[in-house]
Amino acid sequence: AQALAGIAKDLTKMSSKSAIRLVVPKEAESRLFRWVAMLTGSKNALKGVGFFVGAALLQIFTEIYGDPMGFRMANFVQAGALALIFCSGALLPADMGKIKAKIPFKRLFSKSREINILSAARFFLFGSRDVWFVVALPVFLYDELGWTFMQVGSYMAIWVIGYGFIQFVAPQLLGGGRPGRAPKARTIQIWTFVLTAVPAIIATAFMAGLAPELVITGGLILFGIVFAFNSAVHSYLVLAYTEDDDVALNVGFYYMANSGGRLLGTVTSGILFQFYGLEGCLWFSTLLILAAGLFSLKLPDPSKTPVEWVVKPGD
């Protein structure tokens, strides 16, 4: 169920960000960065609302119907909401993003070196978040700290909404919203290596015996801010490295790597938590971010990308 939901979410996200690339001229780099950050930030803010709504539905229906019927009823309500959203697709232009020629299977794997490197960095970056945030953290809060469903869901919702807000204002905070100040390769390199230290600091604080509630809260705030910067710049670079005709193909490949990283993080989160606890998940997160940083060192600036890497249908 998680895998199918993740596929559906990433198809939606890929289409949305591809659409921005089609309506904002590539020459307007700072404007493209602002719109990508706006979409990404608002998406994550709504995801945070989803954490809260899901927790509330689970709490309410479990108290009324018991378990597992409460869980089933919560899912039926969410399915109804998704059906309404699905109907809104009829309002979109039918030909937006339609490819001009059939793409052979071998071209599904991007021919752009820049997109390949960025996708590899994205794989490890998002694996590093989910390896401790998706499974280990909520189980730790519920099982070891004794929090309720509502407390865990609200806590994670607040974090995701705040994370989305930071993504939303990332262009202003990074100075990339001004003309001629769009992010470069060095931007993502700096922020990825800064992020490497954050889970290591959180794990060290746990091992030092500090109060877990304070460590988690402070660590999540710091991790969320730096991670949001990384994610916002990544989302800009994937569009800056691509051309109009290949936008869906390249963005799709990029989000395939994103989903692969999240799958790695989700699976290893549960396994590592059982054997090594939350600290083990945090140390593994540090290693994954380090791998993302090493890949990012090979990225060129978007303005220096040669036109020859674009492979057109029929070439």
* pLDDT digit string, tens, across residues 133-192: 989 999 999 999 999 888 998 898 889 888 888 887 887 777 655 555 678 889 999 999
Note the Cα 169 to chain centre separation in Å.
Answer: 16
Average pLDDT over every residue of 238-267 = 82
Distance in angstroms (rounded) separating the CA atoms of residues 88 and 293: 39
Say what the pLDDT of residue 256 is: 84
Residue 315: pLDDT band (50, 70, 90) is very low
Residues whose CB falls within 8 Å of the CB of residue 146, separated by 6 or more in sequence, listed in order: none
Say what the pLDDT of residue 97 is: 64
Domains parsed from the chain with CATH numbers: 2-92+111-307 (1.20.1250.20)
Say what the pLDDT of residue 307 is: 35
pTM of this prediction?
0.75
Of 40 and 154, more confident: 154
What are 68's two structure tokens?
A: 């597992």
High-pLDDT (> 70) share of the chain, %: 84
SS3 of residue 95 by DSSP: coil
What are 108's two structure tokens?
A: 């599904």
Count of Cβ atoms closer than 10 Å to residue 43 Cβ:
18
Average pLDDT over every residue of 118-141 = 94
Distance in angstroms (rounded) separating the CA atoms of residues 172 and 141: 34
Nearest Cα to 112, choosing from 251, 302, 311?
A: 311
Average pLDDT over every residue of 196-221 = 95
What are 24's two structure tokens?
A: 């904002």
- Type of residue found at 82: L
- When mean pLDDT is compared over 51-55, 138-142, 256-260, the highest value belongs to 138-142
Say what the pLDDT of residue 305 is: 43
Distance in angstroms (rounded) separating the CA atoms of residues 268 and 3: 15
Give 223's Cβ-side CA count (13 Å radius).
27
**Vertex 82 angle, CA 80 and 86, to 5°:** 120
Say what the pLDDT of residue 45 is: 76
Nearest Cα to 170, choosing from 234, 92, 89, 263?
A: 234
Say what the pLDDT of residue 192 is: 96
* pLDDT digit string, tens, across residues 280-311: 999 999 999 999 999 999 999 886 444 333 33
Taking 50 as the threshold, does the pLDDT of residue 269 lie above it?
yes
**HEC profile for 269-291?**
HHHHHHHHHHHHHHHHHHHHHHH
Say what the pLDDT of residue 306 is: 41
Say what the pLDDT of residue 93 is: 74
Q: Tokens 């730790």, residue?
A: 140
Picking from 55-69, 218-232, 236-250, which range would have the lowest pLDDT averaged per residue?
A: 236-250
Nearest Cα to 110, choosing from 119, 102, 101?
A: 119
Residue 49: pLDDT band (50, 70, 90) is confident
Burial class (CB in 10 A: 0-12, 13-18, 19+), 98: exposed
